[in-house]
Structure 1
Amino acid sequence: MILSTTTAKAQFWIREGLNRPDHDSYLYYFGISLAYNSSYLHTSKNPRFLENDSIQVANPGAKGGIALGLLATLQMTHRWHLRANPQLVIGGSKYFTYTLKNPAFGEQITETRSMPSTIVSLPIHFKFNSDRINNFRTYMLGGIKYDIDLASNSAARNAENLVKLKKYDFGLEAGIGFNFYLRFVTVSPEIKFSYGLTNVHSRDPGLKYSSVFDKLQSRMIFITLNLED
């Protein structure tokens, strides 16, 4: 009897220390996300790059931006959740640093060409959850994304000094996160890697800054803070 009473009290105290203990019984829940992202372009040089008489070196660079998004999660099983995270990625412009072989009068030997970026990203993820330990749980996620670059310059006509990028992209995403259950909200820091599969380069052999590349594929890293109900 003493042992039973002690066990019951311990379970009561543990449950009393839990924040939002019924959260895992929700069929669906919503939230918002705020992220810092760093993005760059993975390059594949054109086979005739070494024959180029204008460009000697072309290297991609990374810049940071922010992403604002919404969250909608559907609980399929205790372990598996399906999550949609539409977001607006602002900033994080891509750029290339070029070293010219024979710069014209007034040109620098090293030139930088930036490509502004504002992306509407539509990812869908599967989440795999660990057991909840008091007010903490970890999870892994993976899924696909479809991006629309609102700042795409692929239709630009006067593009002599530009590298043209296509408007649409498709890719894979994977990451890991941690749920911290507070009294009224779940706070979830998360890190996520985005791997573009599409060649977003709108290649123009007539443009010296564009002709050196064959394929350009997007790469992003997101460090996110999610707030869920």
Structure 2
Amino acid sequence: MHTTNFRNQFYLFRKETVTPLLLLMMLLLQGRHSYAQVNIYKDEQVYQSRMFHFGISLAVNSSNYKITLDPNYLEQNEILEVHALSNPGFALGIISDLHLSKSFELRFIPDLAFADRSIQYALSTSDTIPIKTIESVYLEFPVHLKYRSRPYKDIRLYILSGFKYSIDMQSNATARLAENLVKVYRNDVAFEYGMGVEFHLPLVIISPEIKVSYGLLNVLKPDDNLNFSSVIEKLRARSIMFTLHFEG
């Protein structure tokens, strides 16, 4: 119950906070043309003189599962179809960047993320379409290698890739009253890659970024006694994220 209340408050925070930040970003970007190209090189000297720099990260995501059906799925007659559905989510993180060179950075962004994933079933015994939603609250620890292009005016493009370790604090793997549940494990590891654009402004660097995450582990906790779980062999978490980074 405490987790549900915290989830509701966090979504309220998202509604009241993200929109003003997006408006602020638009206002800042409108004034970027007055920021001469020479300033990005001056800022870069200051930027590179520090071993670390920090910031905040705000993200929205769309998450689902890659489903692998159990070989015995074809031998049963009750469940006809199984489909993965995507749901929106939100994350808030703290940026820590280690400068390796002028072009490369090692990026660590621990975050708190909310992600819901649903599984839809079609039954031979009913016209009702059951949907099982797994609500997750993650502590995430991604580490990425980031490559930055040479600057053009006040803009730098970048690409990144790396791995993420996640802890689902709302995992239902130990639930006892689980007749109609699909149980998932608490821990996961994902491979991630993405790209973004740095806008170098006088007081801040704003970076919109898009990133894809592929879970490497099977997070399904198998239980042949659970009807909706018994037809599934593997569940792998997947997400696509749009992020705004604000760095000093």
- Provide the TM-score with structure 2 as the length reference: 0.82
Which structure has the greater CA radius of gyration?
A: 1
| TM superposition shift of 1:113 | 1.1
What is the letter of the counterpart of residue 201 of structure 2? L
Aligned pair 1:99/2:122, yes or no?
yes
Higher helix share: 2
| TM superposition shift of 1:79 | 1.3
What is the letter of the counterpart of residue 100 of structure 1? L
Q: Deviations over 1:15-43 (max 9, x none)?
A: 25867343243321000000001100001
Identity of counterpart residues, as a percentage? 37
Instruction: Report if the CA contact (8 A) 2:181-2:228 is conserved.
Output: yes
Question: What does residue 85 of structure 1 align with?
Answer: 109
Which of 18, 43, 60 aligns to 1:20? It is 43
Question: What does residue 39 of structure 1 align with?
Answer: 63
Distance (Å, rounded) in 1 between the aligned partners of 2:118 and 2:237: 12
Aligned pair 1:58/2:110, yes or no?
no
Which of 33, 54, 57 aligns to 1:30? It is 54
Question: What does residue 196 of structure 2 align with?
Answer: 177
> Aligned with 1:48: secondary structure?
helix
Instruction: Report if the CA contact (8 A) 2:98-2:106 is conserved.
Output: yes
Aligned pair 1:197/2:209, yes or no?
no
| TM superposition shift of 1:14 | 4.7
Distance (Å, rounded) in 1 between the aligned partners of 2:83 and 2:148: 39
Question: What does residue 155 of structure 2 align with?
Answer: 136
What is the letter of the counterpart of residue 190 of structure 1? E
- Provide the TM-score with structure 1 as the length reference: 0.89
What is the letter of the counterpart of residue 224 of structure 2? P
Unpaired runs of 5+ residues, structure 1, are 1-12
Instruction: Report if the CA contact (8 A) 1:18-1:135 is conserved.
Output: no
Instruction: Report if the CA contact (8 A) 1:80-1:126 is conserved.
Output: yes
| TM superposition shift of 1:203 | 1.1
Change (3 A) 1:14 1:122: closer
Unpaired runs of 5+ residues, structure 2, are 1-35
Distance (Å, rounded) in 2 between the aligned partners of 1:199 and 1:137: 37
Instruction: Report if the CA contact (8 A) 1:19-1:181 is conserved.
Output: no
For structure 1, which segment, 112-121 or 192-201, has the greater mean C-alpha deviation from structure 2 after superposition?
Answer: 112-121
Instruction: Report if the CA contact (8 A) 2:60-2:89 is conserved.
Output: yes
What is the letter of the counterpart of residue 195 of structure 1? Y
Which of 66, 69, 72 aligns to 2:96? It is 72
Question: What does residue 5 of structure 1 align with?
Answer: none
Q: How many residues align?
A: 212
Change (3 A) 1:16 1:136: closer
RMSD, aligned CA: 1.5
Distance (Å, rounded) in 2 between the aligned partners of 1:138 and 1:217: 30
Could you list the structure 1 runs, at least 4 aligned residues long, displaced by more than 4 angstroms after superposition: 16-19
| TM superposition shift of 1:146 | 0.3
Alignment of 1:207-218 (within 5 A): 207-218=226-237
| TM superposition shift of 1:193 | 0.5
